[in-house]
Structure 1
Amino acid sequence: MNTRYLVCYDIADPARWGRVYRLLRGRGEHLQYSVFVCSLSWAELQELKADLVRLISQHEDDVRLYPLPSGATLEALGGSSLTPEGVTVMIDGRVFTESRENDTT
């Protein structure tokens, strides 16, 4: 069974950033500049983490993998609605659902 992960990264070196971007582009859906959502099995998660450890600087870079709850959706405020279907964001126990009800444009 796969779990969805929100993968966010802050990479200090542009060359390393590009390598991390290319790695994640092959394994997930690009949401924003340094944010992906990846649907991974436990084995795929372990492989991704090992690949990331090889690519990043442990002292200069920061990569975070947040497991996402199933069955929830994302609320988008501003910008475009490019959130892939099935993406969920949960912050402090609150689920954000994609909605354009208050869009004034």
Structure 2
Amino acid sequence: MLNLDIKRHLFLCCYDISDDDRRKRIRAIVKSFAIGGQYSCYECFLSRSEYQMLLRLLNAYSENGDSVVLQPVLSNKSIQCLGIAEAPVNIGFNYIG
């Protein structure tokens, strides 16, 4: 029987890349995993395999001098949102294909 209950965790992926072409490439990669975010910081609910895939892709396209951070968000703490920000919601499934 196929088990579709894949545990996913919330991460923030932030980057600071000076080269326009590399920044566009990194943004496209991160946004393909993201559920929301803005500018150079995105929220991503990732399974273990998605996390590993995103790390491989980021590592392949980033260079010395680039700054990329993939930070887990502790799930036992409530997320504080200010202004028009909305707390990220795990939709339970991302198709990457």
Asked if TM exceeds 0.5, the reply is yes
- After TM superposition, the score normalised by the length of structure 1 is 0.69
Is the 8 Å Cα contact of residues 80 and 87 (structure 2) preserved in structure 1? no
How far has the Cα of 1:34 moved from its partner?
A: 0.2
- Greater helix share, 1 or 2? 2
Moved over 4 A (4+): none
- After TM superposition, the score normalised by the length of structure 2 is 0.74
Partner of 1:30: 36
How far has the Cα of 1:65 moved from its partner?
A: 0.9
Larger radius of gyration: 1
How far has the Cα of 1:6 moved from its partner?
A: 0.6
Partner of 1:85: 88
Partner of 1:16: 22
How far has the Cα of 1:84 moved from its partner?
A: 4.3
Partner of 1:6: 12
In structure 2, stretches of 5+ residues that fail to align are 1-6, 91-97
**Identity over aligned residues, as a percent?**
30
How far has the Cα of 1:71 moved from its partner?
A: 5.1
Aligned length: 84
Partner of 2:95: none
* Separation of aligned partners in 2, 1:86 and 1:14: 30
